Amino acid sequence: MPGNRRHIPLDVKKLVVSMHVIRRLSVPNIRKCTGLSHQTIYRCLDNQHLYNTPVKPKISEGRPRVLSALDVAYVRELLVQIPDLYLDEIRTRLFEARGMNVSEETLRRQLIRSGLTLKQLTRPAQEADEYERAGYMANVGMNYRTDQLVFVDESHCNRYTTHRKFGWSPYGARSIRPDHFIRGVGYSMLPALSIDGILHLVIQDRPFKAPTFAAFISDLLLTMNPFPGPNSVIIMDNAPIHKSDEVKEMIVARGCRYLYLPPYSPDLNPIEQAFAVIKAKIRRNRDYVLGEMCVQAAGLNPYRAMWDIIFECVTPASTRAWFHHSGYFV
């Protein structure tokens, strides 16, 4: 016949030990509080005394791991230094450094067991000057508030933007989806992003050049305040159209200030994260966006589609998260 034992959560057993050791309660009083039997309470206390845990450790079963803790530590440190190694390359380096010859499948299981996953690489530019980046962040942190900062940058969208990268298929078969290879009309978006969201946005079917960018800045300045008020500092990258004398003079005439990001430092611009989310949303709503782009003659409006998606993605909460992720105090 099956016994009448019931599962007692580990937290309850830890509570028994805490009540006895810290609260100095007797076993009868612990039994009144928890409803556990004397035998269970004594067993928890004995295990705590013998094994430093209220549950008796299980005897390990199965054969020992092939890789020792030092082998695993070597692999983890190797992937910190060179995260894009293939499994066969890890296997070769492990054999050369530690003398361990294991299969790629063993390595794969060990990586998963160690909490490592294969993911898309983030590629900071080696050309970036860390001293210049540190100087920029120190300048912003000491002299400006986050609510003063307004980031400006351009991005582009066409039919290619709607292409999804992954698809389902049976094992051993390609995942095939016929798609557009003619880019069609390209749309350039130029938003201004503050800590509270988008201050100003222009979308057009051609790239931005110096005159159109200057016109954008002129309209943006109408929504900004003289320094040191909120939304009073424009931050841009080092694109030539951002550095024209006309743009600088307009900003200064309004009583605002401007800063330029360090070269090769898109990670310091939260608007880049906004663009990534917007383009992911475009892929998510592929059929809707493609319909608007491809059937414009039927009365549909690609500008409206992009406008709706942008303002759906860029909310005050998401903007604050992007600012924080880029290193700005929120």
User: Where residue 5 falls among pLDDT bands split at 50, 70, 90?
Assistant: low
Tell me, yes or no, whether 44 and 75 share the same domain.
Answer: no
pLDDT for 291 = 65
Per residue in 160-170, pLDDT tens?
A: 788 888 888 88
Q: Residue 62: inside a domain, yes or no? A: no
Tell me, yes or no, whether 165 and 300 share the same domain.
Answer: yes
Q: Residue 3: inside a domain, yes or no? A: no
Asked if residue 237 lies in contact with residue 269, where contact means CB atoms within 8 angstroms, the answer is yes
Q: Residue 64: inside a domain, yes or no? A: no
Average pLDDT value for residue range 287-295: 67
CATH of the domain at 298: 3.30.420.10
pLDDT for 320 = 95
Tell me, yes or no, whether 245 and 317 share the same domain.
Answer: yes
Per residue in 248-276, pLDDT tens?
A: 999 999 999 999 999 999 999 999 999 99
Tell me, yes or no, whether 260 and 160 share the same domain.
Answer: yes
Residue 141, C-beta contacts closer than 8 angstroms, at least 6 positions apart: 329
Range of the domain at 28: 10-51
For residue 75, count CB atoms less than 10 angstroms from its CB and return exposed for 0-12, middle for 13-18, buried for 19 or more. Answer: buried
What are the backbone dihedrals phi and psi of residue 199, each rounded to the nearest 5 degrees, phi first?
Answer: -85, -40
Average pLDDT value for residue range 322-329: 92
Query: Residue 228: is the preceding peptide bond cis (ω within 30°)?
Result: yes
pLDDT for 148 = 95
Tell me, yes or no, whether 83 and 159 share the same domain.
Answer: no
Helix (H) or strand (E) holding 259: strand 257-260
How many whole angstroms separate alpha carbon 249 and alpha carbon 264?
Answer: 25
Count the domains in the chain: 3
Output the pTM of the full model. 0.69
pLDDT for 1 = 42
Asked if residue 254 lies in contact with residue 231, where contact means CB atoms within 8 angstroms, the answer is no
